[in-house]
Chains A and B, each alone.
Chain A
């Protein structure tokens, strides 16, 4: 019984995004779609263990969910229900048809664009994407972002209310709108990935399952938008960075920087999966994710930090700086120049960025400067720089790493 329930839950998680997307498109109401989807799952949990899993679970869930949604609209004669009812009439006229593969029709692309809509608060877009497309529960999303469940529930409700009341459409942007809208979707997926990769606050440096959710969602998006090279580039970037996960922390959970990592612990299979994607992503004019993936690939292919192709990495940072100028890119470029030309050259570039307000309290910037000062033997300045970085580091593991470097210098 428990095993069957587990199996049912697994089927549901796989179908959840599709089910929700199809319902949201048909009824134009995310709340209604979610309730109908979860009622359908409850029905599945009640019937499947005794009646057996139907031959086409997705279609069963969809038919049941649609019936539940129509029932709910009939019961609930509020304004929003009446509004959605107009669509139910059209829905009755149009019989449900399975997709070519016998599964549900795939309306998830619409839902990607709706969840990442620029009219939603930036902080809500990732949460909504995890809730609706990854099928995470609200408590799971709350845990992922390290906020109380109540806070997350309010944020998700607020976002869904705006989608309904301001009528943010469930639609795929036209081809001419894609250049404006796709970067927003990719940004949401990348922020989910980086949130999982380097937690922005709190005790844990890596939250692996969030990074894996981001990869899973990006893989789905790549399938739905096969011609878009930046989606491929983002997927490549995630795989090539995630491949290093086992080496990124030591047994005590402290971060290990790239130059100290045990490269034997990198996930070769994941790197092999990512490398051809970089080539595909770079098969036309490069986008920012493709360039970042190419940089990650050069690191992944190098035996160690000294044999890394730093001239090529610097060249790629030049391309990236031209595509998306930012002080963070300039900072990473300076660190690559320090590896190519020596710490003095890198430090000169870093100090040229010192007045940028976005870097002044950015602990990786302060730590990079401290590292170069230490390599140049300017110990008192390096100590001061590490101390300054310490006051701005947000996670416990980052603070521990900085403290270790600081103590090594003081000895």
Chain B
């Protein structure tokens, strides 16, 4: 079963990354996920200041706005999609993710299968 791990950064350090973990932590985790043979996909997202929002009204008019800006404390910073047998295994991988440390959090969502 596929699960998406949505990685929310809490406090952001001076380098724009999560304050509680290092680049080496992330590289080590990425290697573990890939070595375990459960990796489906995963990306980290560029800084929120680069984000742009698009909305289309009922009449087809397109609105493009800068942002969103971080109004809540937690901002989606990246994701993994992993393929594991059940939720307990997915939760274990989420708990090992450096993004779950300190002020960060990882939301585990099953991928819908139609």
Residues of A whose CB lies within 8 Å of any CB of B are 79, 119, 165-169, 171, 173
Contacts and interface: CB of A to CB of B under 8 A. Distances in A.
Contacts of B25: none
A166 B87 contact: yes
Nearest to B88: A169
Interface of B: 1, 85-88, 91, 108, 110, 113-114
B113 A169 contact: no
A167 B113 contact: no
Q: Which 4 A-B pairs have the closest CB atoms?
A: A169-B86, A167-B86, A168-B87, A166-B110
A167 B91 contact: no
Contacts of A165: 110
A169 B110 CA distance: 14
B85 A169 contact: yes
Contact of A79 (B85, B87, B113): B113
B40 to A, nearest CB: 16
Contacts, number: 23
23 contacts: A79-B113, A79-B114, A119-B87, A119-B91, A165-B110, A166-B87, A166-B108, A166-B110, A167-B1, A167-B85, A167-B86, A167-B87, A167-B110, A168-B86, A168-B87, A168-B88, A169-B85, A169-B86, A169-B87, A169-B88, A171-B86, A171-B88, A173-B88
Nearest to A119: B87
Given A167-B86, A168-B86, A173-B88, 10 more contacts: A119-B91, A165-B110, A166-B87, A166-B108, A167-B85, A167-B110, A168-B87, A169-B86, A169-B87, A171-B88
A119 B86 CA distance: 12
Nearest to A113: B88
A167 B91 CA distance: 11
B86 to A, nearest CB: 4
A316 to B, nearest CB: 34
Contacts of B108: 166
Contacts of A168: 86-88
Contacts of B85: 167, 169
A166 B112 CA distance: 9
Contacts of A166: 87, 108, 110
Contacts of A167: 1, 85-87, 110
Nearest to B110: A166
Contacts of A173: 88
Contacts of A169: 85-88
Contacts of B88: 168-169, 171, 173
A112 to B, nearest CB: 15
Nearest to B3: A166
A165 B90 CA distance: 14
A91 to B, nearest CB: 18
Interface centre among A119, A165, A167, A169 (most CB of B within 10 A): A167
A241 B114 CA distance: 51
Nearest to B89: A169
Interface centre among A166, A168, A169 (most CB of B within 10 A): A166
A32 B1 CA distance: 20
Contacts of B114: 79
Nearest to A165: B110
Nearest to B109: A166
A360 to B, nearest CB: 26
B114 to A, nearest CB: 8
A171 B91 CA distance: 15
